[in-house]
Amino acid sequence: MTVIKNKHNAVFGFVLQRLTSFWRSSHLLLAVFSGGFLLIASLTGIILSTAPVVEHFNSPSDKKAADSISLSQFVPQLKEEFIEVFSVEVDEEKAVKVDVIGFDENKDGSFYIHPSSREKIAEIPPKNEFYTWITTLHRSLFLHSTGRILMGITVFLLLLTSISGIALVIKRTNGFKNIFSHIKKQSSAQYYHTLLGRFAFIPIVIMAFAGTILFIDTQFKPKENTEIQHSPSSTEEIALRDFPLFQNTYLSDIKTLHFPFSADEEDYFELILHDRSLKIHQFTGEIIAERKTTWFQNLNALSMTLHTGKGQWIWSIVLGLISINLLYFMYSGTKIAWRRMFSKSRNETSPENAEFIILIGSENGSTQKFGQLLFNALKEAGKSVFVDDMNHYQEYAKAKHLIILTSTYGNGDSPFNARHFLSKVDKTNQKNRIKTHIIGFGSMMYPKFCQYAIDVHKKLSASNDFIVNSSPTLIDGRSHTSFMLSLEAWKKENALEFEVPQENNRKRVKLSAFQVVEKQIVDDGYTLTFTLELKPQSHQHFQSGDLLAIAPPGDETPRYYSIGKTKEGNILLSIKKHKLGECSSFLYKQEPDDIISAYIKVNKPFHLPKKGNVLMIANGTGIAPFLGMTSMYSKQKKTFFLGGRNTLSFKLYHKIIQQNESTDIFNTLHFALSKEEGNQKYVQDLVKEHKIEVARLIKNKGSIMICGSIKMRDGVLEELKRICIEHGLPPLEKHIEKGRILMDCY
């Protein structure tokens, strides 16, 4: 049974994948082809969508009456009250218009009439020239039939683009069932493109389909039904009010009633209903001929309403919104495609000759950017490097180092350009064992955080072709700092010499001056840590949790340090001195009164929540931002779990901790000392010890902030996961997603 199910899954997966690659290319191509015209169609569509709303509020009100007044009540009265009646028309708003000659001049011509009093209630407003102009632009770009064809093809392409787009969303969300499942918030064009796409998909498809039908109608003029002649059953003349058809037809049922031209027997009433048109004998009231509307004409009429919103002002607002939405799609789609296309690197070495191979698994290009950065760095250092998609994995004859950067999609699946990687690993043999480093990019908001990178790591570790790093680096939220740290580790492990250049962002940042006002150093026997208190030399708006970006002299790549804001408004940094760390060495050399150039990067995701109690968990230098937060929102209960090696590790913070303790800002302060004889403890042990309180905090919608090393973060998250399960709380990912577990780890 399981085998069959797996087989089905495999077949389904295969079909879905084939379709996805088809849809993916076609989605982009279609969007490109329809792009320019679609821009005009959307802009004009926004304006035109306001017309039905304007019409609705300008149209004479009493519309209910049209539903209850029959033609047998209305027509004879009308004939009596006017010299001549040419036609009666009921519009989409159910307002009744007549074309008549009246007994006085005021009542000549076309105007709106009240259905029960038959009083003139409004003139028919002249066509709005602006709307007419926009309509022509929308329909035919002022190019007559050529324009109509272009716009018709555009709307058809839009239909196909929407379908291919939704096919991609289905793949990304791992199946049709999950199409409306919650997607995790990320501030990217991709996130909003997907999110809006799911909700706008149905109205866009309706609107585009309706537009396509209108186009087919104008271009191909499908055949009408033939008129069926009825043979008369009676020749007896009856009064208008007794016409059976008039008795059973209400004003709101009709589109138009044309009156006979003269009292000649051959002239007839022509009644146009929504589903057929009838010729009616003007004296006997009998149906002379009938022509039913075809299914296509019905569809065309419905399409007119659905595409234009005529008579349906609420729908026209929806149409306006989706036209705005289309503009956004054009913007976000271009951004995504641009990133995908232009973040590709140019290889100068062949895969057979390269010493360094970078393989990238990326769906939307952000991982690609990191790969590009590394590629440039290696190239700059004179290494022979080859970069490629993971799908193109092959034999690399001279490769010594392989570095894999990959994101995760769906339910822990591979990104699009890595979907064949694992099977290719099975089929390929490497001549030499390649030293391999794996970096996963993902989001902690997903239950299967960086799962694909983990799977790749597992697979390669079990293969004889690779010598794989002990554990993959898993990066949350595209953290540049984590990426740089992972590269540092890789460089160290393999004694590699190269510098990673400036992040690929062209935004020029303005540097500000900061004066060192205090420096403290502590050596706890394991690491040298120091704090710097910096005074901004110009007005700076920041809070604890923001980042200070500093680049050491001669290097453009900034390193980010979490800021603790002191009571005096200064910046408190806590820095670990790395032996070979350029930036930490540079900062270590700073003395009071020295000036440092840097800039502040707002880090909203790590700002102290205003509401609810907070548990702050930190190790090492991660303590700094929390020290600044202690004095904020004083009514909030703050608990503090601090990890260090021994008591000396906290010496730097004594002054501030004591200050705060005396003001009772810390309600609880717990230390975990990992190298303390007889009482070795890690912060995650503190979480475990206080699990009841932690569970209560989570239950009461409090927040947990974690700052420090990734290893500590993973340990803490493991404990928190267990607590959630043990206490029947929603899964950990839900709390991360809701922003109640905030992390700044490196």
Ligand X SMILES: Cc1cc2nc3c(=O)[nH]c(=O)nc-3n(C[C@H](O)[C@H](O)[C@H](O)COP(=O)(O)O)c2cc1C
Residues of this chain that interact with ligand X (CB under 6 A) are: 172-173, 183, 186, 362-368, 407-412, 415, 441-443, 446, 448-451, 478
What are the backbone dihedrals phi and psi of residue 630, each rounded to the nearest 5 degrees, phi first? Answer: -60, -30
Of 373 and 694, nearer to ligand X (C-beta) is: 373
Q: What is the longest distance spanned by two Cα atoms in the chain?
A: 118
Cα 197 to chain centroid, rounded: 8
User: Residue 583 corresponds to which tokens in the numbers above?
Assistant: 């930036």
Q: How far is the CB of 183 from ligand X (least distance, A)?
A: 5
Could you count the other beta carbons within 10 Å of the beta carbon of residue 321?
14
Of 451 and 584, nearer to ligand X (C-beta) is: 451
Of 152 and 415, nearer to ligand X (C-beta) is: 415
> For residue 593, is it left (φ>0), alpha (ψ between -120 and 50) or beta?
left
What CA–CA distance (Å, rounded) separates 275 from 297?
A: 9
575 neighbors 567 (Cβ within 8 angstroms): no
Q: How far is the CB of 49 from ligand X (least distance, A)?
A: 30
408 neighbors 415 (Cβ within 8 angstroms): yes
Of 367 and 391, nearer to ligand X (C-beta) is: 367
Of 366 and 461, nearer to ligand X (C-beta) is: 366
Q: How far is the CB of 472 from ligand X (least distance, A)?
A: 12
Of 107 and 172, nearer to ligand X (C-beta) is: 172
Of 34 and 364, nearer to ligand X (C-beta) is: 364
Of 214 and 438, nearer to ligand X (C-beta) is: 438
What CA–CA distance (Å, rounded) separates 577 from 584?
A: 5
Of 167 and 213, nearer to ligand X (C-beta) is: 167
Closest-by-Cβ residue to ligand X is 442
395 neighbors 424 (Cβ within 8 angstroms): no
What CA–CA distance (Å, rounded) separates 356 from 386?
A: 6
- List for the chain the helix, strand, coil content (%; round to 5): 45, 20, 35
Of 172 and 688, nearer to ligand X (C-beta) is: 172
What CA–CA distance (Å, rounded) separates 326 from 323?
A: 5
Q: What is the DSSP string of 543-586?
A: -TT-EEEE--TT----EEEE-EE-TTS-EEEEEE--SS-HHHHH
The H-or-E segment that residue 599 falls in is strand 595-601
Of 375, 369, 370, 447, the C-alpha closest to 413 is 447
Q: How far is the CB of 726 from ligand X (least distance, A)?
A: 24
- Of how many residues is the chain composed? 746
What CA–CA distance (Å, rounded) separates 360 from 54?
A: 53
What CA–CA distance (Å, rounded) separates 519 from 530?
A: 7
Q: How far is the CB of 473 from ligand X (least distance, A)?
A: 13
User: Residue 21 corresponds to which tokens in the numbers above?
Assistant: 């690659």
What CA–CA distance (Å, rounded) separates 364 from 439?
A: 17
Of 187 and 700, nearer to ligand X (C-beta) is: 187
Q: What is the DSSP letter of 647?
A: G
Residue 376: helix, strand or coil by DSSP? helix
Q: Beta strand 614-619 with 638-644: parallel, antiparallel or unpaired?
A: parallel
Q: How far is the CB of 173 from ligand X (least distance, A)?
A: 6
> For residue 685, is it left (φ>0), alpha (ψ between -120 and 50) or beta?
alpha
Q: How far is the CB of 293 from ligand X (least distance, A)?
A: 45
Q: How far is the CB of 741 from ligand X (least distance, A)?
A: 15
Of 181 and 248, nearer to ligand X (C-beta) is: 181
641 neighbors 707 (Cβ within 8 angstroms): no
What CA–CA distance (Å, rounded) separates 625 from 234?
A: 96
Q: How far is the CB of 341 from ligand X (least distance, A)?
A: 13
Of 188 and 463, nearer to ligand X (C-beta) is: 188
Q: How far is the CB of 703 from ligand X (least distance, A)?
A: 22
Q: How far is the CB of 10 from ligand X (least distance, A)?
A: 20
Of 287 and 418, nearer to ligand X (C-beta) is: 418
**Looking at 685-728, which runs of residues are DSSP E strands?**
703-708
User: Residue 155 corresponds to which tokens in the numbers above?
Assistant: 């709307």
Q: How far is the CB of 367 from ligand X (least distance, A)?
A: 3
Question: Long-range contacts made by residues 504-511, C-beta under 8 angstroms, separation at least 24?
Answer: 504/343, 504/369, 504/372, 504/373, 509/549, 509/599, 510/599, 511/597, 511/598, 511/599
Q: How far is the CB of 326 from ligand X (least distance, A)?
A: 21
Q: How far is the CB of 446 from ligand X (least distance, A)?
A: 3
Q: How far is the CB of 455 from ligand X (least distance, A)?
A: 11
What CA–CA distance (Å, rounded) separates 273 from 69?
A: 16
Of 46 and 456, nearer to ligand X (C-beta) is: 456
Q: How far is the CB of 274 from ligand X (least distance, A)?
A: 44
Of 92 and 363, nearer to ligand X (C-beta) is: 363
